[in-house]
Amino acid sequence: MTTHELKQPGVSMADKIARIDQICTQARILPVITIAREEDILPLADALAAGGIKTLEVTLRSAHGLKAIQVLREQRPELCVGAGTVLDRKMFAAVEAAGAQFVVTPGVTQDILEAGVQSDLPLLPGISTPSELMMGYALGYRRFKLFPAEISGGVAAIKAYGGPFGEVRFCPTGGVNPGNVKSYMALPNVMCVGGTWMLDSGWIKNGDWGRITDCSAEALALLD
């Protein structure tokens, strides 16, 4: 099935690519957030924002993911809130209804890629092979998450992708840390990185929001 055979959204693929570029370029670091307790939603987001991280990928890895997206969109409208770990069309529809501003998947299926084509929401599909990239490319996608980045070849792989896929840009996620983040961000076909190192579970459990703020600020400072 081609994009010409799919129900077309009001927003073109070119506009959605431009929106992903804007989101990722402004973010530089996209925190991959899993909410374990509902009471952590606002203080965690506030701690990240205080450190300069104002674009958030809230995953559906916990029962609180959809609620977190709804709460943040309603109560923190200054933040850019996306949904991560979206696995199928039903989850895509749910995060769209919750108010997510962008969608991220860990991998691809033909159905989820087609859902992204048909939606007005920008989708950043996750890939780990050239063949998966080409599935998305055939439907008009030019921006992808490389996941898990380090296991999938890391910096060397992204450099290699630049040859056959010159239009494509990436958000590498998985294994990105303070020791390698600058190497990723130095690549011309990397627009941002995803990470969790500023989201230590112990800090969150203990409400140590100041440490999260400091770590977020330090992470962004590595890229200045």
**Residue 78 falls in the annotated catalytic set:** no
Domain assignment present for residue 50? The answer is: yes
Q: Residue 170 falls within a domain, yes or no?
A: yes
Angle 161-143-169 from CA coordinates, rounded to 5°: 45
- pLDDT by residue, tens only, the chain of 224 residues: 444 456 677 899 999 999 999 999 999 999 999 999 999 999 999 999 999 999 999 999 999 999 999 999 999 999 999 999 999 999 999 999 999 999 999 999 999 999 999 999 999 999 999 999 999 999 999 999 999 999 999 999 999 999 999 999 999 999 999 999 999 999 999 999 999 999 999 999 999 999 999 999 999 999 99
Catalytic hit among 16, 132, 145, 150: 145
Amino acid at 40: D
In our burial notation (b when 16+ CB lie closer than 10 A, e otherwise), range 32-57 reads: bbbbeeeebbeebbebbbbbebbbbb
0.85 surpassed by pTM: yes
Please check whether residue 2 lies inside any domain of the structure: no
State the residue range of the domain holding 159.
9-216
Instruction: Show the tokens assigned to 27.
Output: 């973010």
1 within domain boundaries: no
The CATH number of residue 128's host domain is 3.20.20.70
> Is 57 considered catalytic here?
yes
How many CB atoms sit inside 10 A of residue 151's CB? 11
Active-site pick, 57, 74, 159, 167? 57
